[in-house]
Amino acid sequence: MGRVQASIALLITVALLVACGRGSAPRPSPTPTFHESGFPQKLSDWGVISVADGHLRLSDRVFPYDLATPLFSDYAQKLRTVWLPPETSATFRAEGDFEFPIGTIITKTFYYGQTSNGAVSDEQVQLTTAGLALDKTRLIETRLMVHRAEGWVAIPYIWDADGKDASLARTGALFPLSLRRDGESSEEAAEFTYLVPNQNQCAGCHATNNTDRTLRPIGMKARHLNKTSSFQPAFNQLDLWLLAGALTSDEEIDATGLYANVNWSDASLPLNDRARSYLDINCSHCHSPVGPADTSGLNLEPDAEGAALGLCKLTIAAGSGAGGRPYGIVPGEPDESILVYRLETDEPAAMMPELGRALVHHEGAALIREWVTNLPGSCSA
């Protein structure tokens, strides 16, 4: 690909940038360790991310990444990293999941901004070259996906009260939290119960094929990763991985010709692209032709259309999720559309996704409402 050749010249620059980022931290970071079996008690046992000098730091060759549109998780912010064993790389796939070598460790750390009175906030805390500044941050949990010989394994860790390490939590947890958004006063804070999933609930999303039930990363697809890097804004994220040798491809990759999801919150982009990107990452790990929600006949992958997408589609087993509405999507009628209802409710039996949120994602639901409002056509009832 032309882009790679052009970018090769920048390889040294990138290396310098990465090196500079760690230059001021004299303490050496831990070395990532792949555990072939078992469930280590502490997150630090993996050596991928660690707390030092008031920061959550990434170890050497641990790459941060993000997705064009992320899954909503009760307004938590997320730091995603991937580490590959030395001398290995992932294999690019234009469609479907990238293939990762045995020994790959993916982490996702869920955190909020920290307010003075114990509430958490949605104030953004960005990863800097020093790491994630912990004085502004309330760490909640870190979820690992580890690629072992027997397949991917999901392992949840909950951050200890002292904030220095996180502890194994295979059965998950519930945390009462108070969330202040956009500088709201403490009276306006949303009280909710944050769920750390147990290992089976990890599989509830990551076993994206309900027949083979093997776990897979969800975001490690070209369509989610093909975007400008949030950490090296000069580069496309896929290019960065190629440059670093973390990703290889048998064929030329033309990032501009690849299907890419868009940033759901970028109002300058087409409404349909934003909505379909949002539905893809939030729903299609279950709502695909092979996922656990294939029982519903609803498919929210980017290429779904017609009744499979929910247009004038009867519900199968929505229960209270039907919300008194006739069809999955009634074009032009968000208040008649079950899809919109299930995003706008926080009732456990009715809401979608079923797990991973206790709050309504107001901005995301508003996007889908606007999309449905603008869909052409009607149901003939």
Tell me which residues touch another protein (CB under 8 A). 170-172, 174, 193, 195, 198-201, 203-204, 207, 210-211, 213, 292, 294-295, 297, 306-308, 311-320, 322-327, 338, 347-349, 354-355, 358, 379-381
Question: What does the block give as tokens for 301?
Answer: 């992958």
Nearer to another protein, 307 or 366 (CB): 307
Q: How far is the CB of 172 from another protein (least distance, A)?
A: 7
Q: How far is the CB of 217 from another protein (least distance, A)?
A: 18
For 271, residues 6+ apart whose C-beta sits below 8 A from its C-beta are: 367, 370, 371, 374
Per-residue three-class SS string for 253-297 = CCHHHCCCCCCCCCCCCCHHHHHHHHHHHHHCCCCCCCCHHHHHC
Nearer to another protein, 320 or 373 (CB): 320
For 309, residues 6+ apart whose C-beta sits below 8 A from its C-beta are: 298, 299, 300, 328, 329
Question: What does the block give as tokens for 223?
Answer: 């369509």
Nearer to another protein, 6 or 349 (CB): 349
Q: How far is the CB of 28 from another protein (least distance, A)?
A: 36
Q: How far is the CB of 368 from another protein (least distance, A)?
A: 18
Q: How far is the CB of 347 from another protein (least distance, A)?
A: 7
Question: What does the block give as tokens for 87?
Answer: 């001398």
Q: How far is the CB of 264 from another protein (least distance, A)?
A: 24
Q: How far is the CB of 362 from another protein (least distance, A)?
A: 19
Nearer to another protein, 58 or 146 (CB): 146
Q: How far is the CB of 272 from another protein (least distance, A)?
A: 19
Question: What does the block give as tokens for 217?
Answer: 């990363």
Q: How far is the CB of 205 from another protein (least distance, A)?
A: 12
Nearer to another protein, 120 or 253 (CB): 120
Q: How far is the CB of 97 from another protein (least distance, A)?
A: 20
Answer whether 143's CB lies under 8 Å from 206's CB.
Answer: no
Integer CA distances (angstroms), 23 to 17, 27, 102, 150, 164, in order = 10, 10, 30, 38, 22
Query: What DSSP letter does each residue of 65-110 carry, written as one string?
Result: E--SSPPP-TT-EEEEEEE--TT--EE--SSSBPB--TT-EEEEEE
Nearer to another protein, 203 or 255 (CB): 203
Q: What are phi and psi of 95, to 5 degrees?
A: -125, 150
- Hey, what's the torsion of the CAs at 161, 166, 171, 175, to 10 degrees? 30
Reduced to 3 states (helix: H, G, I; strand: E, B; else coil), residue 128 is strand
Integer CA distances (angstroms), 137 to 61, 109, 159, 166, in order = 24, 11, 12, 15
Q: What are phi and psi of 200, to 5 degrees?
A: -70, -35
Nearer to another protein, 209 or 373 (CB): 209
CA 63 centroid distance within chain: 15
Nearer to another protein, 213 or 362 (CB): 213
Nearer to another protein, 10 or 308 (CB): 308
Integer CA distances (angstroms), 326 to 276, 284, 313, in order = 22, 22, 8
Nearer to another protein, 198 or 249 (CB): 198
